[in-house]
């Protein structure tokens, strides 16, 4: 494993996010942030190396970089960090649903083509009414709606019903067009100890999103998940395009979140990169590539 592998893996996640967002014509702000990260490969090389070393090239890496994009996209909203994290997670989930539904719709269309061209039968759902009936496993459906669905299914053959691919496409379109209002959180407060638009607020949102993911997807991230302050600062400064005195320093990350994150969120930061396991990939303060 070398620096090129880490860069390729991390930038692959960012490029894929851009491609899907462009394809779905959504989340242009996340695309802007992803391109910003891509334009600063040299500055982020050490951060990529650390993430690749600790998360590998799989769901954990995809999830972490995805939440960085989502948190940066809602950065500056006048919400509490907990609410920002939930909002960013909802945006990320809708993005994944839209993407997955688009893939599923294509698979279902292809299956229909194969059925018609080959005459093969695979004993899978053909009519959306059959799918509804199979999913209706609650008492209210069985006692109130089953008879009506059966009657409709007998009166109208499959040509009258939406295709399974169309249903999947509609699910994706619904998720793609989702909009989260600014005041949707029930726990929204007027005052905040962390100013909107501050790098500290961005990091707090990232930490809360990590906490939510860890609770719902146990085993995805290492326990504990050690992220160096240097890597967090580099990702924050690049994603938010902070320069000069506005740049976040590694010491500031530790001052704000060293003990709090370990106690509250179940992961900790490393003040100093692991000298025994982290290869030397160059100067993190090197200027970004043109």
Q: Are residues 8 and 57 in the same domain?
A: yes
Q: Check residue 281 and give its pLDDT.
A: 33
Last residue of a domain, which of 176, 203, 230? Answer: 176
Q: What is the mean pLDDT of residues 20-38?
A: 85
DSSP line for 259-276: HHHHHHHS--EESS--TT
Q: Which residue has the higher pLDDT, 3 or 265?
A: 3
Label residue 90 by pLDDT band (50, 70, 90).
Answer: confident
Name the least confident of 37-41, 145-149, 243-247, 267-271.
267-271
Residue 277 lies in a domain: no
Task: Decide if 176 contacts 168 (C-beta within 8 A).
Answer: no
Residue 283 lies in a domain: no
Q: Are residues 11 and 144 in the same domain?
A: no
Residue 270 has phi, psi (to 5 degrees) of: -100, 125
Q: Pick from 88, 101, 98: which is nearest to 29 by CA?
A: 88
Q: Are residues 263 and 119 in the same domain?
A: no
Q: Check residue 202 and give its pLDDT.
A: 82
Q: Are residues 57 and 196 in the same domain?
A: yes
Of the ranges 181-190, 225-234, 246-255, 276-285, the best mean pLDDT one: 225-234
C-alpha 228/C-alpha 2 separation (Å) is 19
C-alpha 234/C-alpha 23 separation (Å) is 29
Q: What is the mean pLDDT of residues 67-82?
A: 71
Label residue 280 by pLDDT band (50, 70, 90).
Answer: very low
Q: Which residue has the tokens 């379109």?
A: 173
Q: Which residue has the higher pLDDT, 185 or 247?
A: 247
Percent pLDDT > 70 in the chain is 74
Residue 159 has pLDDT above 60, yes or no: yes
Q: Pick from 128, 92, 98, 126: which is nearest to 112 by CA?
A: 126
Q: Are residues 66 and 210 in the same domain?
A: yes
Q: Are residues 265 and 197 in the same domain?
A: yes
Percent pLDDT > 90 in the chain is 20
Range of the domain at 132: 97-176
Q: How many CB atoms lie within 10 A of CB 162?
A: 12
Last residue of a domain, which of 125, 147, 176? Answer: 176
Task: Decide if 16 contacts 59 (C-beta within 8 A).
Answer: no
Q: Are residues 9 and 71 in the same domain?
A: yes
Q: Are residues 67 and 114 in the same domain?
A: no
Residue 276 lies in a domain: no
Q: Are residues 105 and 73 in the same domain?
A: no
Q: Are residues 172 and 199 in the same domain?
A: no
Q: Is the pTM of this model over 0.75?
A: no
Q: Check residue 18 and give its pLDDT.
A: 92
Q: Which residue has the higher pLDDT, 127 or 283?
A: 127
Q: Check residue 269 and give its pLDDT.
A: 44
Residue 199 lies in a domain: yes
Residue 187 lies in a domain: no
Tally of structural domains, the chain: 2
Residue 143 lies in a domain: yes
As a whole number, the mean pLDDT across the chain is 76
Q: Are residues 71 and 203 in the same domain?
A: yes
Residue 78 has pLDDT above 80, yes or no: no
Residue 221 lies in a domain: yes
Label residue 82 by pLDDT band (50, 70, 90).
Answer: low
Q: What is the mean pLDDT of residues 236-263?
A: 74
Last residue of a domain, which of 148, 176, 204? Answer: 176
Q: Check residue 186 and give its pLDDT.
A: 31
Residue 289 lies in a domain: no
Residue 80 has pLDDT above 60, yes or no: no
Residues 6+ apart with CB under 8 A from 180: 87, 90, 91
Label residue 141 by pLDDT band (50, 70, 90).
Answer: confident
Q: Are residues 198 and 145 in the same domain?
A: no
Q: What is the mean pLDDT of residues 260-276?
A: 42
Token digits for 265? 């969120």
């Amino acid at each position: 494993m070398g620096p090129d592998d880490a860069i390729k893996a991390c930038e692959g996640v960012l490029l894929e996010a851009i491609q899907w967002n462009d394809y779905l014509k959504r989340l242009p702000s996340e695309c802007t942030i992803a391109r910003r990260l891509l334009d600063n490969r040299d500055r982020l090389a050490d951060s990529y190396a650390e993430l690749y070393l600790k998360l590998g090239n799989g769901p954990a890496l995809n999830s972490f970089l995805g939440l960085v994009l989502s948190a940066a996209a809602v950065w500056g909203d006048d919400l509490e960090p907990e609410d920002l994290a939930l909002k960013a997670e909802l945006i990320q989930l809708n993005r994944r649903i839209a993407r997955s539904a688009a893939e599923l719709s294509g698979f279902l269309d292809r299956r229909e083509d194969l059925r018609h061209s080959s005459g093969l039968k695979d004993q899978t759902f053909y009519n959306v009414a059959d799918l509804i009936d199979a999913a209706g496993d609650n008492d209210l459906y069985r006692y109130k709606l089953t008879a009506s669905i059966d009657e409709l299914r007998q009166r109208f053959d499959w040509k009258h019903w939406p295709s399974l691919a169309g249903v999947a496409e509609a699910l994706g379109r619904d998720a793609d067009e989702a909009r989260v209002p600014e005041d949707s959180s029930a726990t929204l407060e007027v005052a905040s100890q962390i100013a909107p638009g501050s790098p500290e607020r961005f990091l707090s949102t990232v930490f809360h999103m990590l906490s939510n993911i860890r609770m719902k997807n146990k085993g995805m991230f290492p326990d504990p998940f050690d992220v160096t302050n240097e890597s967090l600062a580099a990702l924050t400064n690049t994603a938010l395009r902070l320069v000069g005195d506005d740049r976040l320093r590694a010491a500031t990350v530790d001052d704000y979140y060293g003990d709090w994150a370990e106690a509250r969120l179940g992961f900790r930061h490393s003040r100093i990169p692991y000298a025994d396991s982290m290869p030397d990939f160059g100067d993190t303060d090197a200027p970004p590539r043109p």
